[in-house]
Each structure stands twice: as C-alpha cells, then as structure tokens.
Structure 1
Amino acid sequence: MTIEVWVDVICPWCYLAKRRLEAALRESGGTGGVLWRSYELVPEAPAVPGLTTVETMIGFGEDGREVTARFARIRRLGRQEGLTLNLPTARPVNSFDAHRLIHLAGRYGRRGQALEAVLRAYHTDNLDIADHDVLAGLAEQAGLDPGEARRALALGGPLAAEDHLGELVRADERRAAELGVRGVPAFVRGGEVVAAGLPSQQALTALLLDLHEVRGEVAGMAESFPAADAQGDVRSPR
C-alpha cells in the first residue's frame, strides 16, 4: 500500500522525515511505496528572499536565545540523519514554483529526486528556491531537462490561462484540507492520517510493514520533542 506524505520544501522537519522514511524503507525491504504531496506552510510568502529565518522569527516577537537554541537542536537532529541544516541563514520564499517543479519531475518518475534537490538547495545551500534559474538547475540535478523545466515554470503565475503543474499542487492542498491535514510532515495511508510531525524511524518502519495498529504505535514511538517541534510545522494563519 502506498504511503502519501504531505511536505513543504521550506520545512526542516519534512527533510528529517524524508531521511527517516528512506531508512525505514530500506529496513522494511522496500515494502510499499511513497507518494510525495505538496503543501504550502506560508502560501502568501513573497517570491523574493528577504530576512533570514532567524531575523523573521525574532521580528515576530520570539526570543532570540530560544530561536538560536531551537535551530541548534534542529542542526543536531540533521547531523544524526546525515544532513547539514543551515536553517538560521536560510531566507524563506514562496514554495509554490518549487512544488510545481516536483510535480513536473513526477511525470518522469523522479519526484523523490527533485524533492531531495530542492530540500538540499534550501536547507543546506540556502539557495533561492523561488528563482526559476535555480529551479532549472535543480531539475537538471534530478535528471530532468533544465530547458523543459524553465518552459514549464514560465507557464505558471497569476496571469497564466493554464497551469497544469500548479493545479496539481492545488489538488494536493485541497485533498490535505479534506483529510484534516493542518501541518507537515503528514503521513496518510488508505485515506487516513496515520502519523504527523517527526516519528522515529522505528515507527515509520512499523507503519510500512503494517506490524501494529498504526495510530497507537506511531504515537507511542514518536520521539520526545517539545510540543511545537514534535508536531512539525503548522500552516500560518491566513
């Protein structure tokens, strides 16, 4: 059975969850498939980079020391999964076009590769993932034709008559709303949300193998994080 996973590319918990799910897939012998779905945590975010993540959060009134400590914890978690997460110096941007690119990659069976390229570009390399030239380069890294990626991305936007890739993103988001998904990462199996936030690799392996009653087991095996961290990231109020 396929596990659907809703993610946003600007969410560090989603990058961590992807690594844990990949490890769980190896541990389970590749049982079941994974389908990555689109979600925008901040759909109104600008398409041009502005303040860093740290500056943004402090600007919203959060304590600077608490923000620094939180990002240090995320960085440690990243190292445990083999990731370099440079979240403090990332500059949040609108993720819609990045999701459109990932759906383009899905036409060629390379959605996971495109998602990986975008996640690394934002969280590790701090690139502008709203920039079409950057996205075309990431498309090439994922095994796509960068020229096709540029042309497909150029078809979108508020004035576009047709935007098939954008409609795929919106369809994912509508289904998330129907399922009651309000934050990411969120894991869905058989039309039911079975896990949210950052479960342990063991919990994800159990989910893939269907060894346990998923609701109780995933909740019981989830790691002990502060509440806001364990729940992943929640969409901002609109």
Structure 2
Amino acid sequence: MLIEMWTDYACPFCYIGKRRLEEAIKQVEHKVEVVYRCFELEPAAERDISDTIYEKLAKKYGMSLEQAKLNCNNMEDMARESGLDYQFDTMKLTNTFDAHRLTMYAKTHGLMNEMAERILHAFFTESKHIGDTSTLTDLAVEVGLNREKVTNLLNSDEMTDDVRSDEQEAQELGIQGVPFFLINRKYAISGAQPTETFIGAINQINEQDGPFISMNDEKGATCTDDSCEV
C-alpha cells in the first residue's frame, strides 16, 4: 500500500498526523510505504521572522495574545498524546522552502523519512531555525548525508523543480490543507485523524486493492481542529 502525505514543516497538525499514521502502521499486518510530498502553507514567508507564534496568530486572526497562547497550549496537549513535545514558547518561525528541498534531496539517497522526521523534531521540539542553511546542513549530516553536497545543494536551486512539482500536483488535486493523505492514488484522508481511523482505512483499502503497491521505480495558513489550510 502506498500512502502519500502532503505536509509542511510549519504545520503542527502534520507532525501529529505523521505520528498517528506511524502508530497505525505498527498495528496492521499490511506492508505500507509512506512518501512525503511538499506543501508550503506560507510560500511568501521571510526566512527570519521576529514575531513569536503567539504574536503571529494574534495579528492574523485578531485575537489576544492570551487566546493565542491558549490555542497553542491545547495543541501542545494534543501533541503530547502522540508522544511529541512541542515548544511553542521558543519556536523560530521561518520559510520552509529550503527544508522541503533538502527532504527531496534526501529522498534521492533513500533518507526521506529520516530527514522529514529530523526537521520536524528540530522545529517543534528543539526550536531550531530550519530556514537557516547551516542548521539544515547539520541536520542533514546527522541523518547520514554528505555535508559538502548538502551545502552545495542549499546554495543552489537544486530540487526546486521537485518541490514545485509536488505543489502543482496538490493544486491539481484540490488540496488546500495539510496533512493530506492519498492512499494508492485513489483514496483521500484529510487532517490529523485518530490512529483508529488510519487503521480502519488501511485495512479496508487493503481488502479492496490487494497487495502492496510501490513507487520506488517511478522517476498563509489557517489551522482548524486537525489540519492547517492555505
């Protein structure tokens, strides 16, 4: 079974959705391949942003800082239920395009899943600046990529077309929010659904579609209860 997950590193529900999907996969007997797809919630975001997440939310939605903090506290509780430690107080907001480019590069080395996980953990738990090229390079080296090659990548336009291709496909599919899961290119699940929902979907789709399908041979955000939207 092939599950494609459109995600953005700035989307708190995406990390939660990823964890819930991973837990579901552990509880089913079917072979599942997960591939991450690129989706920028705020493509025009600056690389260096001085606002805190609370200030940004307050400005964007016309709420008080207290309400913004309460909303984030609720999200931290939701993340904690999935074993994640969100640190909104020290989060460094940034543009995620280079992080997506790096993930697409890692894919060419069979390290896409590892790179995506490392960037998400760095952003939400370690409060690292994932728009900074030196930070991204260090993270890439940690998962086994070559420092010099990653440095050259981030200082070029390499993998830009790959990111844009994912985003174009998302537009063609009508995807306006993430996380968004496309299973076997036919079935869609939107939002960070409960683990039980993923388990039920995987079991049902496996009965309908049969054995594993692999693709290894193929060459301004709004957050609701379970997803973030453009």
Check the 8 A contact 1:105/1:111 in 2, yes or no.
Answer: yes
For 1:185, the aligned partner's letter is P
Query: CA–CA distance in 2 between the matches of 1:64 and 1:49?
Result: 17
Offset at residue 65 of structure 1 (A): 2.7
Offset at residue 132 of structure 1 (A): 0.6
The answer on 1:112 being equivalent to 2:113 is yes
Check the 8 A contact 2:88/2:124 in 1, yes or no.
Answer: yes
Check the 8 A contact 2:37/2:166 in 1, yes or no.
Answer: yes
Could you tell me which residue of structure 2 aligns to residue 222 of structure 1? Answer: none
The answer on 1:229 being equivalent to 2:230 is no
For 2:35, the aligned partner's letter is L
Choose which of 130, 151, 172 in structure 1 pairs with 2:166. Answer: 172
Offset at residue 231 of structure 1 (A): 4.3
**Counterpart mapping for 1:124-139 below 5 A:** 124-139=125-140
What RMSD over aligned residues (CA atoms) do the two structures have, in Å? Answer: 2.0
Check the 8 A contact 1:14/1:184 in 2, yes or no.
Answer: yes
Could you tell me which residue of structure 1 aligns to residue 214 of structure 2? Answer: none
> Equivalent residue of 1:130, what SS?
coil
> Equivalent residue of 1:230, what SS?
coil
**5+ long unaligned stretches in structure 2:** 209-221
Using a 3 Å threshold, how does the CA distance of structure 1 residues 213 and 52 change in structure 2: closer, same or farther? farther
For 1:57, the aligned partner's letter is L
Check the 8 A contact 1:28/1:209 in 2, yes or no.
Answer: yes
Check the 8 A contact 2:193/2:226 in 1, yes or no.
Answer: no
Return the TM-score normalized by structure 2: 0.88
* Identity score, percent: 29
Check the 8 A contact 1:75/1:85 in 2, yes or no.
Answer: yes
> Equivalent residue of 2:189, what SS?
strand
Using a 3 Å threshold, how does the CA distance of structure 1 residues 179 and 193 change in structure 2: closer, same or farther? farther
**5+ long unaligned stretches in structure 1:** 157-162, 215-226
Could you tell me which residue of structure 1 aligns to residue 25 of structure 2? Answer: 25
Question: How many matched pairs?
Answer: 216
Could you tell me which residue of structure 2 aligns to residue 155 of structure 1? Answer: 156
For 1:190, the aligned partner's letter is N
Query: CA–CA distance in 1 between the matches of 2:191 and 2:6?
Result: 11
Offset at residue 171 of structure 1 (A): 0.3
Check the 8 A contact 1:31/1:209 in 2, yes or no.
Answer: no
Query: CA–CA distance in 1 between the matches of 2:67 and 2:144?
Result: 40
**Counterpart mapping for 1:1-238 below 5 A:** 1-29=1-29, 31-60=31-60, 61-156=62-157, 163=158, 165-192=159-186, 194-210=188-204, 229-235=224-230
Offset at residue 229 of structure 1 (A): 2.7
Structure 1 runs (4+) deviating above 4 angstroms are 211-214
Using a 3 Å threshold, how does the CA distance of structure 1 residues 193 and 49 change in structure 2: closer, same or farther? farther
Using a 3 Å threshold, how does the CA distance of structure 1 residues 104 and 211 change in structure 2: closer, same or farther? closer
Q: Deviations over 1:76-130 (max 9, x none)?
A: 1111111110124313211000000000110111101100111111111111111
> Equivalent residue of 1:16, what SS?
helix
Query: CA–CA distance in 2 between the matches of 1:211 and 1:183?
Result: 23
Check the 8 A contact 1:49/1:128 in 2, yes or no.
Answer: no
